[in-house]
Amino acid sequence: MWITRTTKTGAKNTAVQVVRREHQQTIIVKHIGTAHNSNELQILQKRAETFILENSGINPLFPELFGKEKQQTIIEVEQIISRLEVIKTNHTFTHTFLSFFYDYLGFASFKSNLLRDLVIMRIVEPCSKLRSLELLKEYFSINYGRTNMHKKLSEMVKQKETLEKIAVLYAKNHLDLIFQLSSMTLQHCILNHSGKIGMNLENLDFQKIINLTNRK
């Protein structure tokens, strides 16, 4: 990345340079000139930024401030930024990132935004469901009423087997070796506990398995 650098000369003037960092060293790309007063410094800084814009091959983050039609110096931009006020921020990227993996695991077929958002909150900040509702609103501007949440959760409980099958299907398709090892471990655990296997992994109650494993 090219940036503008100013440095004092032996005659106490100000040299303006375009530099870049490479292997922890500062390399001078171009010496723009030496300023003897503040007016000259501002002109040279603007020339340096124009040089970066036209030669670095990197588009500016804010083209309306640094674009070719309207170029401003760093000082002018800092003055603009200092007048900005942040009213509210949302962690949109976090929600988008985790939603991608939620969908990738296959749970998008369940078609429940509430389940997805509660799962995301469980990762971001594990807490009660009521607290999750507050944080969803604070972090992502997503609103669910308590009554609506409890109603939908009661409906989700009836679909427990569907969700379990989605998880098992993903494991079969993408985690074949891990799935087989887990299956063997679970079957071994069940065999030791009950004296027989006689159970299909797809029909296992996950909570019973967890309780069974903890007792072992």
Question: Which pLDDT tens digit goes with each residue over 96-110?
Answer: 999 999 999 898 898
What is the β-pairing status of strands 25-35 and 14-22? antiparallel
Alpha helices in the chain, H assignment, sequence order: 38-55, 63-66, 74-82, 92-104, 113-124, 129-140, 146-157, 160-174, 176-194, 206-215
Dist CA 92 CA 85 (whole Å): 19
Point out which residues pair with 22 in neighbouring strands: 25
**167 or 194, which is more confident:** 167
Check whether residue 154 and residue 166 sit in a common domain: no
Check whether residue 43 and residue 63 sit in a common domain: yes
Check whether residue 148 and residue 166 sit in a common domain: no
Check whether residue 68 and residue 128 sit in a common domain: no
DSSP label at 110?
Answer: G
Place of tokens 């506990």: 193
Check whether residue 97 and residue 134 sit in a common domain: yes
Check whether residue 152 and residue 169 sit in a common domain: no
* Residue 177 covered by a domain: yes
Check whether residue 133 and residue 63 sit in a common domain: no
Check whether residue 153 and residue 105 sit in a common domain: yes
**Domain-ending residue, one of 82, 100, 125:** 82
Check whether residue 143 and residue 166 sit in a common domain: no
Angle at 110 between CA 107 and CA 111, to 5 degrees: 110
**Domain-ending residue, one of 82, 108, 143:** 82
On whether the CB atoms of residues 68 and 60 are closer than 8 A, the answer is no
* Residue 129 covered by a domain: yes
Instruction: Identify the sign of the CA torsion 116, 121, 126, 131.
Output: negative
Check whether residue 138 and residue 175 sit in a common domain: no
**182 or 167, which is more confident:** 167
**212 or 79, which is more confident:** 79
* Residue 87 covered by a domain: no
**Full residue range of the structural domain in which residue 153 is found:** 92-158
Q: What percent of the chain has pLDDT over 90?
A: 28
Check whether residue 146 and residue 112 sit in a common domain: yes
Give how many domains the chain has, as a whole number: 3
Q: What percent of the chain has pLDDT over 70?
A: 72
Query: What confidence category does residue 198 fall into, taking pLDDT thresholds of 50, 70 and 90?
Result: very low
* Residue 176 covered by a domain: yes
Q: How far is CA 197 from CA 105, 172, 188, 194, in A?
A: 28, 20, 8, 8
